[in-house]
Chains A and B, each alone.
Chain A
């Protein structure tokens, strides 16, 4: 019961498949012009998320801006000189003209309000209207600056060497674009001043833009590196490009789908192509195996089909595991994470579909000589890599206890490291240390109050409460408390204005640098101030009904955890000092904290879900929890090691690292799947081999594919280490380490674990037990019989099938079948059977049969095109109505013309459908035979296993016994007469007996001939209708 085989279809119609793929790809490409990008990392959280809604409302209440750029101006000789001040003035004027800058609220020497007293009345006016030209003017300015605490550490540093211009941005303005314009402006100023452009929007938007650029640059570079490495591995450009195309096509499909569905490409999804490219390297296993197979079969088509058969299961399951690993992200909260997960999962599936269609199709276009040349170099025994891997596996298997113990120790150490993990995220630190963005930030944070800004909003239960002295004092106390934190550079609130006014109105008497005692006084001051100052001055710190106050908290670092400490400190203060006011955080620093927290923990949650999903896939794939568990250990171990190292290195566990967790899982599991699947298959295919040798074989052969996969992957991602953004470096380093580590872990630890746990793994009622037990018995039997040691069951059955069903190029015989019922009634089926081989044993064959007897089927013809591994095509010609039609019959369960032979008995069962195990040796008559037990891998036939007595010289089956599900003999075949025809030993008489019903079919071949030159055209509708007489006689 085989399904439609995509691989075979692709191999048979390679051009069609390629054309279809190209068309499909073009269809997806048509979506590309619709592409929209969203480089704003803020959009990781939707505009409707709580934090954004709250921040928006705070900004609205206090007339604040979401983002502010800080331009730092540093002069080592002090900024208070006519020249620098002139520059400040010019720069400020230019900044005010930039579109997207909220000009009315730019803070600079020339725009900031200063509160002073003139003639006994309060005067609020810009600090500096024009740059003073003489020392007197400078001194006056200095005095004004330093006597107003609101200015210190905001627009002037205590040492007077640094000043800043704060340019708030209108909603939706791009911070990177504006920063670039400001850089242009400051570049025009010559002199000893240094200029720095800093602030969250600069970092964020620069990062978003850079990330896109990097993706556009990096993905192709990574692709090229992969191409080159592949070329070095296989020395065939065409195939290397094919593999590359596989990745490219899936990228086009998934991105096309994403765009087509109307999603913008977000920073997260912009990473998908690289991920897909990484996942595509899994098709390496197909290549790896293909060359090995080609060496064995020397037939390209055959090799492709066999390769796909051998690797299809692991390849399919790794795809499933990877898709599951990413698919779980669909259940996350953050939309870009969901989109990303879905995108990569889809791409992974697409990759696999391509692996089963496009890649085999492309294989067929490669010339045989070329393959032969490459294949010649693929040698399990002698390759250096293979030898190394074999040794590695041997080490694991031989010193399993030591290896596992070392692993346990390392795991404990790693867990300690993980315990040290610091969860943090710092957007600015995504840039390299000496990058403009980060330098600017460092300099300004050192000199001034801090570039990162958070708010603490105090919400009173009723209007005008803020005007009360207790509220004022409370806020002041909170400010002082917060300022004790090392991360806090400066805090500003309405209290600072009140105190400033109080002081200036009392002749600058420092005694009055305090909150007045009466609510009325405070109200009066604030009223006076609002009459003369810019409305935004007061609005920024208090709302009109005086119900809410806003404390600005300038932070000296962009660490997300900085805001966390501010929030904790505020909470702490509130606990210690009860108040009717509610204290809530807001601002960009708070947003970063929440954003970072949500994305990070969403990824962690996703990772944990993926752990479960991938485990399920493994368990399903291996059909065993035990094996899944064993396969999982190197994977978990690798992940532990890496995160342990991250913890020890003191590297923050930030968003890029959390994103990697899913990839690491999805990728590293591939190695385990390949290793375990192939090992278990090997144990079945080569039953005489010890577990140790099987492990070594697996490490040397599929292991080579694993290693290649890892190296390829690592090579292409190593490029990332040279990227200008630290997350890329992190990702690059992470992947390189992870791939190499997990490949080595797989090769070392799986053999160790399997060796150590073999008792546990192979016990229980699974088939594995039987296989293992049989193989142990067989190991003994085979060791005892030196002569046949080389022949294992599968090889023997292949030889037997070659001799029995594939002899000669073609074959013809008059076949007389006598069906005898248990009651003795006889029926005759007489036909001419013509067979032609297309390919080697197990390959395509065509059969043509013409019936002579019985009379009711006389002149009937029957044609079979046998395909390896799937049901044959069958046509029947019914002469009475001159009709040719296809018939639906299944090889495995259909009796041939009512005889005891099934279709499979007549034309041969596909060898790979069974596991073949040599059971014993026995004589039949005078002939030495090897007895092979063939057990169907899938329960698709009516017998449980078959024993074949294969003649050691002719390889013909002299006897076969079929045992039913209960283990009872139910069908027996005997070769009753063997004759040489043209030097080919041929079974000319045979019998099949149904032991249970007593029905017997006796078959006699006469007029046997080989190599008669049967033409392909015979197998056509034309000759079915009019069989050529000379052929059927």
Chain B
């Protein structure tokens, strides 16, 4: 329903802008068609299929502008070979208004904050992890948010204010596609409480940024909800029914990125204020946390870049958490640490890209490896092949639980 509202507003805007600017010729239409397939390599999916993903997709990108307005619409249409169904999806659709000292963007838009590479602290906007784990192009990790963004540009700093009327959760891998750890796997009676798609779930976020001593420095604020659901059993001893809900969350954070040590150094931290469980006594709601990351990226030789990151999540009120954790639940670490490494080598005048990305859980010993080869056959056609390999750690740890989901994927795209 909401999609339709957005679409009709955009449609109207489009008509207006197209008409008014048709003569100026400021309308462009681009897009792509792609095939995207990911095949299991260890074992079939829980539902017996041997692909994580198999789809053909087309995107149309319409860009129209008449100062001070600008409109962009990205609409996907795809056919899912696994579920055997066709569908459409509005990836982005917004219009901009630009003034000298401020601007506004209204509609479905992708917002990316923070300085982490695939590690998100202050980027609290919705993600699609199912897409990420099943070998879709990276851009599909980000989901658009429906909302309004105001940019203010006074002399001393730049400010982004975002209001999202309807809460949008993250998209996690589907249990029919992915083997995952479920602490209460036996209870199948599950009910989702929200998102209600009403204004009670409105979210607000703010970012203030400027250059500080050569470092791009930002401060962040977010008030909304955790995009990961919490599970509430009806009875803590012998549960029969589970309710999924999204606890309140405030995030306060900062990041900085700049040139140092002959490379780029990134620093980011955020405090996750779990306002519904400030004392950490509720085992079903995550405790407040402090998250931080340090990243370093450097070109070591021509067209080869190394990126390293260290990430930590420090749980507040840990003793309260341990005390209240129901028996049989895996206990999280007080400090959960992670490291990542990215290697990128371009070859053949930057038409061939070899890349390797890995997560390694310093606390749990689990990992995810993602090697990929991408080749631009021509300026319009590219082909990428890669794999996702999971393992290590405990059966419930972040990447360890996906151990049976190793896959190889192919992306082919013709872009115009």
Contact = CB atoms under 8 A, between A and B. Distances in A.
Contact of B351 (A1, A873, A898): A898
A1020 B350 CA distance: 27
Interface in A825-840: 825, 827-828
Given A856-B415, A1030-B67, A13 B379 contact: no
B191 to A, nearest CB: 33
Given A821-B349, A881-B142, A827 B378 contact: yes
A338 B413 CA distance: 72
Majority-rule SS of B interface residues: strand
A895 B350 CA distance: 8
A776 B65 CA distance: 64
Contacts of B67: 1029-1030
Contacts of B30: 855, 858
A130 interface: no
Interface stretch (A149-157, A660-668, A884-892): A884-892
Contacts of B346: 895, 898
Contacts of A237: none
B139 interface: yes
Interface string B160-178: 0000000000000000000
Given A13-B213, A886-B258, A897-B350, A856 B382 contact: yes
Contact of B305 (A855, A883, A888, A1020): A888
Contact of A855 (B214, B264, B416): B416
B264 A887 contact: yes
B288 to A, nearest CB: 27
B359 to A, nearest CB: 19
Contacts of A1029: 26, 65, 67, 70
Nearest to B305: A888
A3 B216 contact: no
B20 to A, nearest CB: 14
Nearest to A873: B259
A397 B216 CA distance: 55
B208 to A, nearest CB: 12
A881 B305 contact: no
B116 to A, nearest CB: 10
A616 B272 CA distance: 57
B379 A854 contact: yes
Interface string A839-881: 0000000000000011110100000000000010100000011
Contacts of B387: none
A882 interface: yes
Interface stretch (B75-83, B194-202, B239-247, B294-302): B294-302
B355 interface: no
Interface residues of B, number: 53
A886 B258 CA distance: 7
* Most chain B CB atoms below 10 A, which of A9, A821, A885: A885
B262 interface: yes
A16 interface: yes
Contact of B158 (A827, A882, A1021): A1021
A31 interface: no
Interface centre among A871, A880, A1030 (most CB of B within 10 A): A880
B3 interface: no
Interface in A1010-1033: 1017, 1020-1022, 1026, 1028-1030
Contacts of A881: 110, 112, 138-139, 141-142
A954 interface: no
A4 interface: yes
Interface string B8-41: 0000000000000000001000101000000000
B415 A882 contact: no
Nearest to B261: A4
Contacts of B260: 4
Contact of B32 (A12, A13, A855): A855
Interface residues of A, number: 47
Contacts of B301: 893
Contacts of B32: 855
A12 B351 CA distance: 38
Contacts of B216: 886, 1021
Contacts of A889: 299, 305
A928 interface: no
Q: Which residue, of A853, A894, A1020, has the highest number of chain B Cβ atoms within 10 A? A: A894
A886 B303 contact: no
A825 B30 CA distance: 23
A871 to B, nearest CB: 7
A887 B65 CA distance: 30
A1022 to B, nearest CB: 6
B103 interface: yes
B153 interface: yes
Given A855-B379, A895-B350, A882 B110 contact: yes
Contacts of A12: 214
Nearest to B218: A1021
A643 to B, nearest CB: 48
B13 to A, nearest CB: 17
B263 interface: yes
Which of A855, A856, A1022 counts the most chain B CB atoms within 10 A?
Answer: A855
A1028 B302 CA distance: 32
A574 interface: no
B349 A899 contact: yes
A1020 B142 CA distance: 24
A381 interface: no
B109 A882 contact: yes
A120 to B, nearest CB: 99
Contacts of B257: 885-886
B281 interface: no
Given A1021-B209, A1026-B96, A828 B379 contact: yes
Nearest to B138: A881
Interface string A1-43: 1111000010011001000000000000000000000000000
Interface in A498-526: none
Contacts of A897: 350
A887 B303 CA distance: 12
Nearest to A898: B350
Nearest to A902: B302
A895 B96 contact: no
Contacts of B1: none
B115 interface: yes
A883 B415 contact: no
Contacts of B209: 1021
A159 interface: no
B361 interface: no
Given A888-B264, A1030-B67, A856 B297 contact: no
A871 B297 CA distance: 14
Interface in B284-337: 297-299, 301-303, 305
Contacts of A898: 346, 349-351
A819 interface: yes
B280 interface: no
A209 B112 CA distance: 70
Contacts of B299: 888-890, 893-894
A999 interface: yes
A942 interface: yes
B119 to A, nearest CB: 13
Nearest to B380: A855
A903 to B, nearest CB: 11
A1030 B302 CA distance: 35
A880 B263 CA distance: 25
A816 to B, nearest CB: 13
B139 A880 contact: yes
Of all A-B residue pairs in the complex, the 3 with the closest CB atoms, nearest first, are A898-B350, A854-B379, A880-B139
Given A893-B301, A895-B302, 12 more contacts: A4-B262, A827-B379, A856-B376, A856-B382, A856-B415, A881-B139, A882-B111, A886-B264, A887-B297, A898-B346, A899-B349, A1020-B153
16 contacts: A3-B262, A821-B349, A825-B378, A827-B351, A828-B379, A854-B376, A855-B30, A880-B138, A881-B112, A881-B139, A881-B141, A888-B299, A893-B302, A1017-B153, A1022-B158, A1029-B67
